[in-house]
């Protein structure tokens, strides 16, 4: 899957598991065929699969290890996108498919993908997705909608590091 640094993308381990070479065509499959239940959050660990990865529906006896086992990975970092990994000065973010807790992003990803991005891509004037459709400087054109997911705190660092205040 190209552009693995984007929060919009699926974790590389999951993309490899389900054979997804490109993110945008993958998005358009979600909710259909093998991916009919993709957006439904698993209530039990036995429901988790490569085509149904979001978990858990509610607290109580749920563990990250349930995701690891069901998705065939050995380390929780395998379920993080590059942008979610820990580095000096920042803790690791919650894995995309985990849907509990104050720092979870799974439920927002479901809504963003299912209710915003997929319908927009199917519209008469589809938006472009950075970084999947090219360099940001090339995508920013009049009358073009560019969808970019960012972590505000991450962006603040970029501006502060480059001397812009």
CA torsion through residues 57, 63, 64, 65, sign: negative
Number of domains in the chain: 1
How would you write the pLDDT of the chain (165 residues) with one tens digit per residue?
Answer: 334 444 455 665 667 667 777 888 888 999 999 999 999 999 999 999 989 999 999 999 999 999 999 998 899 998 888 778 888 878 888 888 999 998 888 999 999 999 999 999 999 999 999 888 999 999 999 999 999 877 666 777 777 765 544
Domain assignment of residue 146, yes or no: no
Note whether 55 and 99 are within 8 A (CB). Answer: yes
CA distances for 5 relative to 65, 66, 93, 134, 149, angstroms: 24, 25, 13, 13, 11
pTM of the model: 0.82
Domain assignment of residue 88, yes or no: yes
Domain assignment of residue 17, yes or no: yes
Domain assignment of residue 143, yes or no: no
Domain assignment of residue 154, yes or no: no
Domain assignment of residue 159, yes or no: no
Domain assignment of residue 1, yes or no: no
Domain, as residue range, for 65:
12-124
């Amino acid at each position: 899957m190209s552009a693995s640094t984007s929060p919009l993308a699926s974790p590389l381990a999951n993309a490899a598991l389900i054979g997804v070479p490109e993110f945008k065509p993958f998005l358009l499959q979600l909710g259909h065929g093998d991916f009919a239940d993709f957006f439904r959050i698993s209530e039990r660990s036995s429901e988790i699969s490569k085509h149904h990865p979001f978990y858990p529906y509610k607290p109580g006896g749920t563990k990250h290890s349930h995701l690891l086992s069901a998705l065939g990975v050995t380390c929780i970092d395998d379920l993080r996108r590059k942008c979610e990994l820990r580095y000096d000065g920042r803790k690791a973010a919650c894995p995309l498919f985990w849907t509990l807790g104050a720092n979870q992003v799974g439920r927002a990803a479901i809504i963003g993908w299912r209710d915003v991005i997929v319908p927009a891509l199917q519209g008469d004037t589809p938006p472009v997705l950075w970084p999947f459709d090219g360099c940001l400087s090339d995508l920013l054109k009049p009358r073009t909608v560019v969808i970019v997911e960012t972590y505000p705190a991450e962006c603040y660092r970029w501006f502060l590091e480059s001397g812009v205040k």
